[in-house]
C-alpha cells in the first residue's frame, strides 16, 4: 500500500477544492456547518444558489498572511 504525503493532498482552504468537495457532497457541508455552529439549532439540508464554479468567481482572491 502506498503512503500519502501531506504535500500530495489538496489544500481544503483553496476555494476550488472547498467548492468541489462540498458542492459534490452537500451532506459533508451540512456536517461542517453543524459542527461550527454548535450553539445553534442544527440544519438538515443545504442548497447551493449557484453550483457552477467559474473562473470569474475565483478571480480577485488574495492570500492574506
DSSP SS3 for 45: coil
Across 21-57, b (16+ Cβ under 10 Å) vs e yields ebeeeeeebbeeeeeeeeeeeeeeeeeeeeeeeeeee
Q: What is the pLDDT of residues 11-42, one digit of tens each?
A: 767 777 888 888 888 999 999 999 999 999 99
Answer with the residue of higher pLDDT: 60 or 45: 45
Percent of the chain whose pLDDT exceeds 70: 69
Helix (H) or strand (E) holding 36: helix 26-36
Band of pLDDT at residue 53, cut at 50, 70 and 90: confident
* Residue 65 pLDDT > 60: no
For residues 50 and 45, what is the distance between their CA atoms, to the nearest angstrom? 16
Amino acid at each position: 500500500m502506498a503512503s500519502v504525503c501531506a504535500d500530495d493532498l489538496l489544500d481544503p482552504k483553496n476555494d476550488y477544492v472547498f467548492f468541489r468537495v462540498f458542492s459534490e457532497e452537500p451532506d459533508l457541508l451540512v456536517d461542517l456547518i453543524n459542527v461550527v455552529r454548535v450553539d445553534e439549532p442544527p440544519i438538515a439540508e443545504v442548497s447551493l444558489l449557484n453550483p457552477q464554479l467559474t473562473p470569474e468567481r475565483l478571480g480577485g482572491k488574495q492570500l492574506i498572511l
